[in-house]
Copies of this chain bind each other. A is one copy, B any other.
Amino acid sequence: MISGTEIKTIPVIRTPRDMQEWSRAKRKEGRTIGCAPTMGALHEGHLSLIRRSASECDETIVTIFVNPTQFAPGEDLEKYPRNEESDLILAGEAGATIAYCPSAEVMYTPDASTWVIEDNMTGIMCGESRPTHFRGVTTVVAKLFNACLPDRAYFGQKDYQQLLVIKRMVSDLDFPVEIVSCPIVRERDGLAMSSRNKYLSADERSDAVILKNALDAACDAVNKGERNPRELERIARTLIETVRTSGIDYVEVRDAEDLSVVDEIDRPVVLALAVLFGETRLIDNVIIYPAKESM
Contacts and interface: CB of A to CB of B under 8 A. Distances in A.
Contact of A115 (B30, B116, B174): B116
Contacts of A175: 146
How many chain copies does the complex carry? 2
A207 interface: no
Interface in A1-53: 16, 20, 24, 27-28, 30
B174 A147 contact: yes
Interface string A99-132: 0000000000101111111111100000000000
A264 interface: no
Interface of A is mostly: mixed
Interface in A125-155: 138-139, 142-143, 146-147, 149
A168 B109 CA distance: 11
A121 B116 contact: no
Nearest to A151: B24
Contacts of A262: none
B28 A112 contact: no
Q: How large is the interface on A (under 10, 10 to 19, 20 to 34, 35 or more residues)?
A: 20 to 34
A176 interface: yes
A202 interface: no
A121 B111 CA distance: 11
Contacts of A169: 114
A167 B132 CA distance: 24
Count chain B CB atoms within 10 A of each CB in A138, A139, A174 and give the residue with the most. Answer: A174
A121 B112 CA distance: 11
B142 A173 contact: yes
Contact of A149 (B118, B147, B171, B176): B176
A103 B243 CA distance: 55
B28 A30 contact: yes
B119 A117 contact: no
Nearest to A138: B114
A234 B30 CA distance: 59
A28 B27 CA distance: 7
A172 interface: yes
A176 B146 contact: yes
Contacts of A173: 114, 116, 139, 142-143, 146
A258 interface: yes
A114 B114 contact: no
A147 B176 CA distance: 7
A119 B117 CA distance: 12
14 contacts: A27-B27, A111-B120, A112-B172, A113-B118, A113-B119, A113-B121, A114-B168, A115-B116, A116-B142, A143-B173, A146-B173, A146-B176, A147-B174, A149-B176
Instruction: Across the A-B interface, give the 9 residue pairs with the lowest CB-CB distance, nearest first.
Output: A114-B172, A113-B120, A16-B174, A146-B174, A113-B119, A20-B176, A112-B172, A143-B174, A114-B169
